[in-house]
């Protein structure tokens, strides 16, 4: 809502020196969101005067037609002689009154006007357009003034160019501030000054002679006032002052009757509608739409109506979407001048509609048809029902005054007002909300200031004013008191929460995993969760894989990515490719985040009442409607894991780095991973590790790691040998070992034994190690694989695994015989389970 300061002053006697910025500060403190204070006319200095075009000479021979005009500017030119002015615009004629900037004037944008030679003539000034004066952005053409102004009149004052305009973002609870009346009320309160309420008009009582109206849905339309004005001059023009106010408020001027309805809407907040009486067919009606009905609205769009849409009708059917937009047919006509006779043709008799519609009904219709209009925005936020009759009266008065019309004697008033809301609250309720003692007197005074009727002593019974439908609860009234007393006056105190338990295990793990991976050289990425079936398919994830069962958005930002991720990899790989494309080639990225794993069997979520706590079953029902959303962690790697440098050559990132990243994560959870070969998209079938751990006592698959499948790398245009790991953090959280039992440290010496075992190349090293460990018995302190050999010295299809075994006893120094026996037992177990043969044996 744009409110010119000059207009506000009509209702509040602000101090002369009050600036727009100062008023804005006060309104901000009172809860209005003043976004900007715009100075109009900044950068403009005169002389800017009214001129009368006496003669026009058309110049030819230039790229465009040019006019050389003789313009009477009264005495303003200094000589009393008419000025000669070049002009390129064509929307004016001889005899028209225009706005002339004379030499010496400066227009906005430091545009200095001087007498100068152009198009072969001397031009002594400029005929101005609204855009050149920054009056409005709508009109590109020359301003043509109504004929009543004398040449030479100062146009800066006439056009009220110098002003300040407050632009206010009105929150949904303050619909009344979508009017000058409402903003003036807040301004008056903020300055402690009286308000001249423009809605306080003498309004005639309804009678039977008015235009007939039938309200078929009084719940959706509890008031309908109709007035008529006849004998309007079709050529009557909107006066400059009204045009200027409309322009400053951001509205276009259209025709006098429409401008007047808009003006009254800005002034009082009540959206009005003017019908051309000649184009109405029988009585007006208000009802809901019938199935199959259609209406072409003012914007030329034919709309299929919904049975909940509230309509204005006549005998021909729907003529308007109530409160949202009128129909094209019954609209007031734009005046047209007969080119031969000079006679104006247009609407001469209007029916004014000033009604009150239900906010929710209008909001739904506006949303359903995707229309947000000046009217619907006001109805949605609540319009003062008591102002309807006054708005109609104001409209009639202006039509009579400015359009030369005659007010019809008939006054239609259909009314089914709702009971006024009353709120009871303890007088100290605002004090308890604020934590400040205001006292009963201040509370009552502030509520009255807002427009409430207040009764009672310790307990107050409050009737809010008709323009404040948002005031329904005691806390609403508390807010009114606290804001009038000033939010700035609130003290600052600290509550004392009970002792907290700190972060949960899940939260601590999440943090630790992030730190550990960053410490290991990974950079965190936070990717959007939007994916497509196609992206999953390109990862080689086949249909039927649970990861293809996605949650789909009804209104995605992009139809390319309408679904939610079931794995972190698509986003992370896209980030990898983006970085690679930007010249970072050695990459290690990680992400932690939720994935969405619907079963496809989720029932729809119910809408529960809000009148009390839902039952546990109801809450469980809502949770059952949601997909499982576990937190996962993933890494991707490409390029060099270790860079080349003075220490030696680079080491490319490989499958083992991805597996090690999984171990790094598991270590943070205190979990141990069992690594085994697997085939799982999008990984390379020969370089893919399944990651298992024990969760709640059961061996559980928690994720995969390894090198990506070459086909995936090609399909996604990833760097060669890109590697990845993904695992479910929420499973790992439950896999921790619990309390660690401290080991006993033996003081006796260690005995080491190295063994090299030859096994079939397909035998996993982890199995050989497991066999050795179990065979070696309790004396084994540790076991480490230190070499893997394939080549000439072992048979084809075989490999040699070299292990270092360390033995130690808690209570004695081991003899060579004991150590040897333990080693032999270990080798025997490996031989039995894996077919291992001691190398060289």
State the binding site for Mg(2+): 470, 476, 479-480
- Using the rule CB under 8 A, is 473 a contact of other proteins? yes
User: Shortest distance, CB of residue 380 to other proteins, whole angstroms?
Assistant: 7
Q: Does 589 bind other proteins (CB under 8 A)?
A: yes
Which of these segments, 209-217, 621-629, 751-759, 810-818, binds other proteins (CB under 8 A)? 621-629
Tell me: does residue 514 bind other proteins (CB under 8 A): yes
Touching other proteins, residues 358-387 (CB under 8 A): 359-360, 363-364, 367, 380
- The Cα 237–Cα 335 span in angstroms is 9
Q: Indicate whether 342 belongs to the interface with other proteins (CB under 8 A).
A: no
| From candidates 15, 342, 491, 797, binder to other proteins by CB under 8 A | 491
* Residue number, 42 or 625, with CB nearest to other proteins: 625
Find the shortest distance in angstroms from Cβ 548 to other proteins: 6
Contacts 24+ apart (CB under 8 A), 468-475: 468/176, 469/175, 469/359, 469/382, 470/172, 470/173, 470/174, 470/175, 470/382, 471/421, 471/423, 472/421, 472/423, 473/423, 474/423, 474/424, 474/425, 474/429, 475/433
The Cα–Cα gap between 253 and 251 comes to 7
Q: How far apart, in whole angstroms, are the C-alpha atoms of residue 425 and residue 508?
A: 46
Nearer to other proteins, 284 or 636 (CB): 636
At 144, is the secondary structure helix, strand, or coil? strand
User: Under rule CB under 8 A, which residues in 565-584 are in contact with other proteins?
Assistant: 575, 578-579, 582, 584
**Residue in 151, 335, 627, 703 binding other proteins, rule: CB under 8 A:** 627
* E-assigned strand segments in 75-120: 83-87, 97-101, 106-107, 111-112, 116-118
Provide the phi-psi class of 96: left if phi over 0, else alpha when psi is between -120 and 50, else beta.
Answer: beta
Closer to other proteins by CB, 84 or 629: give it.
Answer: 629
Binding residues: 470, 476, 479-480
**Smallest distance from other proteins to CB 536, Å:** 11
Backbone angles phi, psi at 737, to 5 degrees: -85, 0
* Cβ proximity to other proteins, 192 vs 645, nearer residue: 645
Q: Is the Cβ of residue 284 or residue 551 nearer to other proteins in the bound state? A: 551
- Which residues from 163-222 bind other proteins, rule CB under 8 A? 171-174
Q: How far is the CB of 441 from other proteins (least distance, A)?
A: 20
Q: How far is the CB of 728 from other proteins (least distance, A)?
A: 16
607 binding other proteins? (CB under 8 A): yes
Q: Which is nearer to other proteins, 170 or 351 (CB)?
A: 170
- Determine if 675 is a binding residue for other proteins (CB under 8 A): no
Of 817, 775, 792, which Cα lies nearest the Cα of 803? 775
Q: Which is nearer to other proteins, 395 or 477 (CB)?
A: 477
Burial of 773 (0-12, 13-18, 19+ CB in 10 A): middle
CA distances to 7, 180, 261, 394, 546 from 198, in Å = 12, 9, 15, 9, 67
Q: Is 523 in the site for other proteins (CB under 8 A)?
A: yes
537 binds other proteins (CB under 8 A): no
Nearer to other proteins, 374 or 397 (CB): 374
- DSSP letter, residue 722: -
Which part of the chain contacts other proteins (CB under 8 A), choosing from 90-98, 324-332, 452-460, 640-648? 640-648
Q: Rule CB under 8 A: is residue 599 a binding residue for other proteins?
A: yes
Q: How far apart are CA 509 and CA 525, in angstroms?
A: 18
Choosing from 600, 738, 791, 797, the residue that interacts with other proteins (CB under 8 A) is 600
Assess 557 for contact with other proteins (CB under 8 A).
yes
Q: Does 762 bind other proteins (CB under 8 A)?
A: no
10 vs 449 by CB, closer to other proteins:
449
- Confirm or reject binding of residue 611 to other proteins (CB under 8 A): yes
Report in angstroms how near the CB of residue 567 gets to other proteins at its nearest.
Answer: 15
Of 159-167, 206-214, 226-234, 644-652, which part binds other proteins (CB under 8 A)?
644-652
Encoded tokens for 806: 């360390």
> Would you say 636 and 572 are in contact if contact means Cβ atoms under 8 Å apart?
yes
Q: Based on the shown chain and the rule CB under 8 A, indicate whether residue 619 belongs to the binding site for other proteins.
A: yes
Q: Is 550 in the site for other proteins (CB under 8 A)?
A: yes
Please list, in sequence order, all residues whose beta carbon lies within 8 angstroms of the beta carbon of residue 753, skipping any fewer than 6 positions away.
804, 805, 807, 819, 820, 822, 823
Q: What is the CA radius of gyration of the chain?
A: 41
Token output for 524:
């965190």
Q: Could you tell me the smallest distance in angstroms from the CB atom of residue 641 to other proteins?
A: 7
Contacts of 706 (CB under 8 A, 6+ apart): 655, 658, 659, 683, 684, 687, 688, 689, 723, 724, 725
Among residues 625, 717, 766, 841, the one that binds other proteins under rule CB under 8 A: 625
If one asks whether residue 19 binds other proteins (CB under 8 A), the answer comes out as no
> Hey, what are 485's tokens?
């007393």
**Residue 476 binds other proteins, judged by CB under 8 A:** yes
> Nearest approach, Cβ of 732 to other proteins (angstroms)?
17
DSSP-H helix ranges across 144-297: 155-158, 180-191, 240-248, 256-268
Distance CA 130, CA 807 (A): 97
Q: Where are the beta strands (DSSP E) in 729-832?
A: 751-760, 780-789, 798-807
Question: What's the closest the beta carbon of residue 731 comes to other proteins, in angstroms?
Answer: 17
CB of 440 to other proteins, least distance (A): 18
Cα 532 to Cα 560, 578, 709: the distances in Å are 6, 18, 20
User: Can you tell me which residue has the tokens 């660690």?
Assistant: 740
Site for other proteins in 61-100 (CB under 8 A): none
Residue 434 near other proteins by CB under 8 A: yes
Q: Which of residues 260-279 bind other proteins (CB under 8 A)?
A: none
- Tell me which residue has tokens 């992009």: 558
Tell how far CA 352 is from the center of its chain: 37
When asked if residue 28 is in the footprint of other proteins (CB under 8 A), the reply is yes
Cβ proximity to other proteins: between 486 and 764 the closer is 486
798 belongs to the binding site for other proteins (CB under 8 A) = no
The piece of 47-55, 217-225, 495-503, 798-806 that touches other proteins (CB under 8 A) is 495-503
Give the interface segment with other proteins, choosing from 40-48, 107-115, 266-274, 618-626 (CB under 8 A).
Answer: 618-626
Characterize 46-67 residue by residue with b for buried, 16 or more Cβ atoms within 10 angstroms of its Cβ, and e for exposed.
Answer: bbbbbbbbeebeeeeeeeeebb
Among 290, 524, 542, 560, binds other proteins (CB under 8 A): 524
Q: What is the largest CA-CA distance in the chain?
A: 131
C-beta of 56 vs 537, nearer to other proteins: 537
Number of residues that bind other proteins (CB under 8 A): 118
Contact residue for other proteins among 2, 139, 549, 663 (CB under 8 A): 549
* Closer residue to other proteins (CB): 237 or 577: 577
Q: Tell me if 189 sits within 8 A of 12, measured CB to CB.
A: no
**How many C-beta neighbours within 10 Å does residue 812 have?**
11
Binding positions for other proteins, 29-68, rule CB under 8 A: 29-31, 33
The contact mask relative to other proteins for 154-173 (x = CB under 8 A, - = no) is: -----------------xxx
Region near other proteins per CB under 8 A, out of 317-325, 329-337, 489-497, 815-823: 489-497
**Tokens 């019809």, residue located:** 408
Binding residue for other proteins, selected from 555, 739, 792, 817, defined by CB under 8 A: 555
């Amino acid at each position: 809502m744009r409110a010119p300061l000059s207009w506000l002053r009509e209702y509040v006697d602000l101090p002369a020196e009050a600036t727009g910025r100062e008023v804005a500060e006060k309104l901000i403190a009172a809860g209005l969101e003043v976004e900007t204070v715009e100075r109009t006319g900044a950068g403009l200095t005169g002389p800017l005067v009214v001129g009368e075009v006496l003669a026009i000479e058309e110049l030819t021979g230039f790229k465009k037609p040019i006019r050389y005009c003789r313009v009477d500017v009264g005495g303003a030119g200094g000589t009393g002689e008419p000025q000669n002015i070049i002009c390129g615009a064509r929307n004016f004629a001889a005899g028209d009154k225009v706005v002339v900037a004379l030499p010496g004037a400066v227009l906005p944008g430091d545009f200095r006007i001087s007498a100068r030679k152009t198009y072969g003539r001397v031009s002594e000034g400029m005929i101005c357009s609204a855009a050149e004066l920054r009056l409005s952005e709508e009109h590109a053409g020359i301003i043509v003034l109504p004929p009543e102004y004398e040449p030479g009149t100062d146009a800066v004052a006439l056009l009220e160019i110098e002003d300040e305009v407050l632009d206010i973002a009105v929150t949904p609870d303050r619909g009344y501030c979508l009017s000058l009346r409402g903003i003036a009320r807040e301004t008056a309160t903020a300055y402690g000054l009286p308000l001249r309420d423009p809605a306080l008009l003498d309004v005639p009582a309804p009678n039977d002679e008015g235009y007939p109206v039938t309200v078929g849905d009084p719940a959706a339309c509890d008031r309908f006032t109709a007035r008529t004005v006849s004998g309007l001059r079709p050529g009557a023009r909107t006066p400059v002052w009204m045009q200027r106010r409309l322009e400053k408020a951001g509205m276009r001027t259209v025709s006098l009757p429409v401008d007047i309805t808009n003006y009254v809407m800005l002034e009082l907040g009540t959206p009005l509608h003017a019908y051309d009486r000649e184009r109405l067919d029988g009585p007006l009606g208000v009802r809901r739409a019938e199935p199959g009905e259609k209406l072409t609205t003012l914007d030329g769009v034919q709309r299929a109506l919904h049975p909940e849409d509230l309509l204005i009708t006549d005998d021909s059917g729907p003529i308007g979407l109530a409160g949202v937009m009128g129909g094209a047919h019954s609209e007031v006509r734009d005046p047209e001048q007969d080119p031969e006779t000079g006679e104006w043709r247009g609407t001469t008799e209007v029916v004014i509609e000033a009604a009150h519609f239900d906010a929710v009904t209008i909001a739904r219709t506006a949303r359903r048809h995707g229309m947000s209009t000046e009217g619907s925005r006001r109805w949605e936020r609540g319009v003062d029902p008591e102002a309807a009759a006054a708005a109609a009266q104001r409209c009639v008065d202006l039509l009579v005054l400015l359009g030369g019309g005659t007010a019809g004697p008939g006054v239609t008033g259909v009314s089914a007002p709702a009971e006024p809301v009353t709120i009871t609250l303890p007088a100290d309720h605002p004090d308890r909300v604020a934590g400040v003692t205001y006292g009963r007197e201040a509370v009552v005074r502030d509520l009255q200031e807002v427009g409430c009727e207040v009764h009672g002593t310790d307990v107050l019974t409050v009737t809010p004013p008709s323009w404040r439908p948002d005031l329904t609860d005691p806390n609403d009234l508390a807010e009114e008191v606290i804001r009038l007393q000033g939010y700035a006056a609130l003290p600052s105190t600290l509550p004392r929460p009970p002792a907290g338990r700190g972060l949960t295990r899940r939260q601590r793990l999440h943090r630790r995993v992030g730190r550990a991976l960053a410490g290991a050289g990974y950079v965190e990425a936070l990717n959007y969760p939007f994916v497509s079936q196609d992206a999953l398919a390109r990862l080689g994830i086949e249909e039927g894989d649970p990861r293809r069962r996605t949650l789909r958005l009804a209104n995605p930002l992009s139809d390319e990515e309408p679904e939610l991720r079931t794995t972190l990899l698509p986003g992370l790989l896209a980030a990898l490719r983006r970085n690679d494309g930007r010249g970072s080639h050695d990459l290690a990225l990680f992400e932690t985040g939720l994935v969405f794993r619907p079963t496809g069997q989720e029932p729809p979520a119910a809408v529960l009442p809000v009148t009390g706590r839902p039952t546990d079953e109801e809450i469980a029902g809502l949770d059952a409607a949601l997909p499982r959303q576990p937190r996962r962690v993933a890494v991707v790697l490409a390029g060099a894991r270790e860079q080349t440098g003075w220490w030696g050559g680079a080491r490319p990132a490989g499958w083992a780095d991805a597996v090690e990243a999984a171990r790094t994560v598991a270590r943070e959870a205190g979990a141990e991973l069992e690594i085994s070969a697997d085939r799982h998209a999008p990984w390379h079938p020969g370089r893919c590790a399944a990651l298992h751990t024990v969760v709640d006592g059961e061996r559980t698959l928690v994720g995969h790691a390894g090198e990506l499948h070459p086909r995936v790398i090609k399909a996604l245009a990833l760097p060669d040998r890109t590697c990845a790991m993904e695992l479910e953090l929420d499973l790992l959280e439950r896999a921790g070992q619990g309390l660690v039992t401290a080991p006993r440290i033996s003081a006796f010496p260690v005995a080491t034994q190295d063994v090299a075992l030859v096994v079939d190349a397909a035998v996993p090293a982890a199995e050989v190690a497991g066999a050795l460990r179990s065979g070696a018995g309790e004396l084994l302190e540790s076991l480490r694989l230190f070499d893997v050999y394939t080549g000439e010295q072992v048979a084809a299809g075989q490999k040699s695994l070299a292990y270092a075994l360390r033995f130690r006893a808690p209570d004695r120094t081991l003899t060579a015989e004991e150590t040897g026996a333990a080693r032999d037992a270990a080798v025997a177990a490996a031989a039995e389970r894996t077919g291992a043969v001691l190398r060289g044996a």
